[in-house]
């Protein structure tokens, strides 16, 4: 192929951060002709729990008995629907894209279950003893603003059968806010022994964490290098608490499990304003709780630091921890390349290793073993094109960020104007800087005067790789010069 040769200039700008920072998005140009193309997988799928009976539309009339009363209401996210006899329902999350909501089921103000519900389905809700169906919920519609859901609920006569007060298990964390820090005191029990720890967090550090990218593999949240010191301090203190209480070293991981399980459920939208917002361990502890993926990441980080083999277990709409065990350990497990990872629930107290909630027993699961950290590169770019009638000249602004958990060594960036003929390019340029890119650092490249003949089709393709055997590739839509 005839490759046009013209002057190409390369400008390199490296943005180094002395503290943890994040830079995202593309750099806008006056005449953008290329766009970023990156696929990101989020854990946002819904799940229909088995202990909630799903009733087909054709059977709905049978459910609406003559002595039941039905109502329709619209609820905003975080709104509470008051029912009869102390029962209520709180909307924790509304996801328009996935057509699902997350609700908290309550009695006398105390939560006794959380469930995901899908639009167009009807769910029968039982009492705190899991005996009587006390009301049903039909998720009618999630409105376009994604903050309001319409529900039709039917109150059953059985809701009046239970009269005693449900005390629940209220878990409170003491909080003290100082000028520059916030202190939290955590209390939890293990085998009738109460443990207490207090941690102090820097508010400015939390603000810096909030700017970090969420678009990274789950495993990077577990072995994040900026959390290493904090997690090591926690594991050391867990060992000291066990010694002081007369427990053996073998009991330390169980004390840590009870600690994480005692943290209250805090939805992503309630603490961050986003429907899906994975937190680093520092952030979960700072908030004093989190959702299933946050508590799983925290516990996996602690157990991994203790030297145990762990994995994250990703389920539809849920996440838990897998603990490596041998054949003698009883309970449910997932086999990953010959290794058994026993299920461990993190979102409530009292769950033992190997016990899976009923609604997830037959659910498809993805096992994500926690290993040594690795780099993960993210590429963003924008560009402009100008033509003189014979040749179009393309200028690019390229950003590469390391959102992994290990330094990317000897980074190389390769920019191309790809031809429609596979394996051929109109023009290209490769850096040879051999630089290292630390975790959460971003490097910015300006590439000038890549060219393509007028009238020819092309697209921008950007590669980035390092000597750690990691690579990333993104490309634009096809366009005509």
Lowest mean pLDDT among 255-269, 322-336, 396-410: 255-269
Q: Are 92 and 104 in contact (CB under 8 A)?
A: yes
Q: Which domains does the chain have, with CATH numbers?
A: 9-41+375-480 (2.60.40.10), 54-160 (2.60.98.40), 174-362 (3.10.620)
Collapsing DSSP to helix, strand or coil, 406 comes out as coil
Q: What is the pLDDT of residues 206-239, one digit of tens each?
A: 999 988 988 899 999 999 999 999 999 999 999 9
Q: What is the pLDDT of residues 96-133, one digit of tens each?
A: 878 889 888 888 777 788 888 999 999 999 888 878 88
> DSSP state, 359?
G
Lowest mean pLDDT among 17-21, 132-136, 446-450: 17-21
What residues pair up with 6 in beta bridges, in sequence order?
none
Burial class (CB in 10 A: 0-12, 13-18, 19+), 297: buried
**What is the DSSP secondary-structure string of 126-153?**
E-TTS-SEEEEEEEEEE-TTSSEEEEEE
Instruction: Work out the pLDDT band at 13, boundaries 50, 70, 90.
Output: very low
Q: Are 196 and 185 in contact (CB under 8 A)?
A: yes
DSSP H helices, 250-334, are 252-261, 268-272, 281-287, 292-305
Instruction: Work out the pLDDT band at 8, boundaries 50, 70, 90.
Output: very low
Instruction: Work out the pLDDT band at 76, boundaries 50, 70, 90.
Output: confident
Q: Are 102 and 115 in contact (CB under 8 A)?
A: yes
Cβ atoms within 10 Å, residue 55: 16
> DSSP state, 307?
T
């Amino acid at each position: 192929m005839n490759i046009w040769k013209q002057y190409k200039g390369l400008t390199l700008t490296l943005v180094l951060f002395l503290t943890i920072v994040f830079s995202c998005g593309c750099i806008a140009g006056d005449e953008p002709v290329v766009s970023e193309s990156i696929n990101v997988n989020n854990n946002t799928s819904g799940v229909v729990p088995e202990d909630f009976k799903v009733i087909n539309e054709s059977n709905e009339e049978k459910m609406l008995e003559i002595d039941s009363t039905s109502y329709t209401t619209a609820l905003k996210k975080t709104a509470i629907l008051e029912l009869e006899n102390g029962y209520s329902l709180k909307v924790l999350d509304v996801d328009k894209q996935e057509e699902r909501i997350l609700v908290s089921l309550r009695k006398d103000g105390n939560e006794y279950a959380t469930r995901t519900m899908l639009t167009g389905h009807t769910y029968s809700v039982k009492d705190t003893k899991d005996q009587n169906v006390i009301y049903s919920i039909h998720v009618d519609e999630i409105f376009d603003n994604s903050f309001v859901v319409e529900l039709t609920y039917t109150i059953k006569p059985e809701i009046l059968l239970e009269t005693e007060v449900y005390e629940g298990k209220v878990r409170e964390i003491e909080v003290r806010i100082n000028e520059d820090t916030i202190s939290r005191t955590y209390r939890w029990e293990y085998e009738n022994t109460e443990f207490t720890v207090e941690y102090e967090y820097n508010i400015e550090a939390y603000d810096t964490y909030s700017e970090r990218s969420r678009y990274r593999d789950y495993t990077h949240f577990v072995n994040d290098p900026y959390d290493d010191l904090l997690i090591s301090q926690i594991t050391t203190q867990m060992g000291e608490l066990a010694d002081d209480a007369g427990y053996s070293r073998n009991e330390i991981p169980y004390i840590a499990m009870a600690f994480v399980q005692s943290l209250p459920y805090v939805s992503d939208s309630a603490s961050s304003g986003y429907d899906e917002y994975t937190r680093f361990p520092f952030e979960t502890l700072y908030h004093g709780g989190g959702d299933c993926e946050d508590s799983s990441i925290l516990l996996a980080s602690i157990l991994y630091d203790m030297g145990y083999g762990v994995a994250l277990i990703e389920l539809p709409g849920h996440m838990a921890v897998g603990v490596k065990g041998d054949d003698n350990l009883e309970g449910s497990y997932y086999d990953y390349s010959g290794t058994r990872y026993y299920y461990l629930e993190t979102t409530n107290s009292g769950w033992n290793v190997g016990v899976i909630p009923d609604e997830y027993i037959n659910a498809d699961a993805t096992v994500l073993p926690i290993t040594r950290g690795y780099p993960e590169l993210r590429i963003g770019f924008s560009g402009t094109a100008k033509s003189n009638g014979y040749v179009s000249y393309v200028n690019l602004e390229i950003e590469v960020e390391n959102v992994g958990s290990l330094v990317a060594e000897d980074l190389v960036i390769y920019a191309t104007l790809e031809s429609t003929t596979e394996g051929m390019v109109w023009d290209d340029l490769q850096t040879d800087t051999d630089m290292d890119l630390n975790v959460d650092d971003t490097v910015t490249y300006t590439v000038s005067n890549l060219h393509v003949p007028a009238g020819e089709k092309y697209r921008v393709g950007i590669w980035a790789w390092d000597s750690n055997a990691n690579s990333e590739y993104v490309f634009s839509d096809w366009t005509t010069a």
